[in-house]
Amino acid sequence: MDLAGVKSGFSIKKAHEAQSRLARQVIFEDKLPKNIRYVAGVDLAYVKGMSIGAVAVLAYDSLRLIESRTSFCKTQFPYVPTLLSFREIPPAVACTRKLKVQPDVFLVDGQGFAHPYRCGFASHFGLVINRPTIGVAKSRLFGEVKERGNNDNVAFLKNKDEIVGAVITTKRGCKPVYVSVGHMVSLNTAIKIVKHCTLNRRIPEPVLKAHETASTEKRKNQ
What are the pLDDT digits (tens) for 12-25?
899 999 999 999 99
* Confidence grade of residue 136 (pLDDT, cut at 50, 70, 90): very high
For the segment 93-111, the average pLDDT, to the nearest whole number, is: 98
- Listed residue (123, 159, 151, 149) closest to 26, CA to CA: 123
| Average per-residue pLDDT for the chain | 93
Around Cβ 84, how many Cβ atoms within 10 Å?
19
The domain limits of the chain are: 12-220
For the segment 203-207, the average pLDDT, to the nearest whole number, is: 98
For the segment 21-32, the average pLDDT, to the nearest whole number, is: 97
For the segment 168-191, the average pLDDT, to the nearest whole number, is: 95
Task: List Cα–Cα distances, 138 to 67, 83, 94, 163, 174, in angstroms.
Answer: 24, 17, 24, 18, 11
C-alpha angle with apex 167: 163 to 169, nearest 5 degrees? Answer: 160
For the segment 187-193, the average pLDDT, to the nearest whole number, is: 97
Q: Which helix (H) or strand (E) holds 190?
A: helix 187-196
**C-alpha span between 160 and 49 (Å, rounded):** 40
Write down the pLDDT at residue 149.
Answer: 56
Write down the pLDDT at residue 173.
Answer: 86
What percent of the chain stands above pLDDT 90? 85
**C-alpha span between 104 and 171 (Å, rounded):** 25
Per-residue pLDDT at 94 exceeds 90: yes
Per-residue pLDDT at 6 exceeds 50: no
Q: Mention the CATH class of domain 12-220.
A: alpha beta
For the segment 178-207, the average pLDDT, to the nearest whole number, is: 97
**C-alpha span between 184 and 83 (Å, rounded):** 21
Task: List Cα–Cα distances, 98 to 1, 56, 89, 182, in angstroms.
Answer: 35, 11, 15, 21
The larger pLDDT score, comparing residue 150 to residue 195, is at 195
**C-alpha span between 75 and 5 (Å, rounded):** 9
Per-residue pLDDT at 9 exceeds 70: no
105-108 vs 38-47, strand pairing mode? parallel
Write down the pLDDT at residue 150.
Answer: 60
**C-alpha span between 155 and 64 (Å, rounded):** 29
What are the pLDDT digits (tens) for 32-84?
999 999 999 999 999 999 999 999 999 999 999 999 999 999 998 888 999 99
C-alpha angle with apex 62: 178 to 60, nearest 5 degrees? Answer: 55
Write down the pLDDT at residue 11.
Answer: 85
Q: Assign 48 to helix, strand or coil.
A: coil
Write down the pLDDT at residue 8.
Answer: 47
What pTM did the predictor assign?
0.94
